[in-house]
Amino acid sequence: MPQLNFYKKLESESASFKPPYVIESGQGAYLKINGINKLNFCSSHYLGFAEDQRLKNAVCEAVQKYGVGTGYRTLAGTHTLHLELERAIAKFKGTEAAVIFTSAYMANAAAIQTILGKDDVVISDELNHASIIDAVRLSQVKNKLIYKHTDTNDLEEKLKEASIIIKPDGSKPLMLIVTDGVFSMDGDLAPLPEIVRLAKKYGALTMVDDAHGEGVLGKGGRGIVDHFDLVGEIDIEIGSLSKAFSVIGGFIAGKKTLIDYYNLKARQRLFSIALTIPDTAAALEAVNILLESDAPVKKLWENVNYLQKEFKRLGFDTGNSKTPIIPVMIGDEDKAKEFSAKLFEENVFATPIVFPMVAKGKARIRVIASASHSKNDLSKGIEAFGKIGKQMQII
């Protein structure tokens, strides 16, 4: 029977599934796993907000005042906290307006699907996040051009190719250049200044997914656009509330006209429940903390710089990272898995990144620093890496 064959196929393909470790603590400098504290070198909570007392207090106060649930934004679900959060994000990012979604994945989908027709053009970096790839597929745009990773010469060739495309009605298509701001596997940056220059030259819109740049890059953690002094030059900025802000959700920031259009047309907003009260309150408090002080960002970068220096001192290859994402390159996939397992035995939790997340032969241990780490925490991690690196003849 087809049903039986279907479930047999699922069983066969799922046989290699390995359940993830179960965390028994908060997402701080250490994670409790099987009752043992493991140094947390793999969470994207860059600023340590996951256990921040101000966020906890904000959640408790909001829940006591408003309860938990919300609703559809277009019906009875737009809460005063949602509007406060959107205003705070726009102020933080230096844009005219912002709109929030239940995830950055949804924000990427909305950003592309809502403005592109099937005869328009999207030009995308080859290493863009899966949510961008899925968003392009969802848009059903026929003209999809991929340029080599951060290669602006190749991007210009794709723009030249796109500039001669004509829609069936004889009009010129909308061209959208899409890139991650920080690439999550290597920690390298998109060449935004050159992308903006080319976009203006060829009349294209620009979109940046800055999920790993918020709270990390720029003045006070305002992101990669601020980092390159391009505030107001990028059309669509996507952000995540689940990385540096340690909550859940995503947003689109840009000109008010654009955000009004997303509010009116984005299906991911129209047909999805809004962020809950506790999520919104926590995210708002996180943004407010950064609007008040850059101290958490400075602490993060002290830790990043120390880790980078120590990894290089030991002789590890950390690629071209310019961010708290530090890829410790191993190469061989089995060795990367073994290295991670040995780290776990040393009570250091750092996950292996292997194919298909990265190309074959490019396996690595992805280390992520946090403002919640003390220098002593980092030194413990470095000591474990050095010990295992020598044992396995990686260094």
Q: Are strands 36-40 and 121-125 parallel, antiparallel or unpaired?
A: unpaired
Residue with the two structure tokens 């010129």:
172
Structure tokens at 72: 């559809």
Radius of gyration of the chain (CA): 22
Structure tokens at 354: 């292997």
Q: Are strands 143-147 and 121-125 parallel, antiparallel or unpaired?
A: parallel
DSSP notation for 194-256: HHHHHHHHHT-EEEEE-TTTTTTSSGGG--HHHHTT-TTT-SEEEEESSSTT-S--EEEEE-H
Q: Is 124 exposed, middle or buried (0-12, 13-18, 19+ CB in 10 A)?
A: buried
How many residues are there in the chain?
395
Contact (Cβ atoms closer than 8 angstroms) between residue 281 and residue 61? yes
DSSP notation for 72-113: BTTTT---HHHHHHHHHHHHHHT-SEEEEES-HHHHHHHHHH
Q: List residues with catalytic annotation.
A: 184, 212, 243
Strand-pairing partners, residue 97, are: 254
Three-state SS at 349:
strand
Contact (Cβ atoms closer than 8 angstroms) between residue 297 and residue 47? yes
Nearest CA to 165 among 115, 118, 121? Answer: 121
Between the alpha carbon of residue 326 and those of residues 81, 143, 236, the distances in Å are 35, 35, 27
Give CA angle at 272 (110, 67), nearest 5°: 130
Classify residue 128 by its DSSP letter.
-
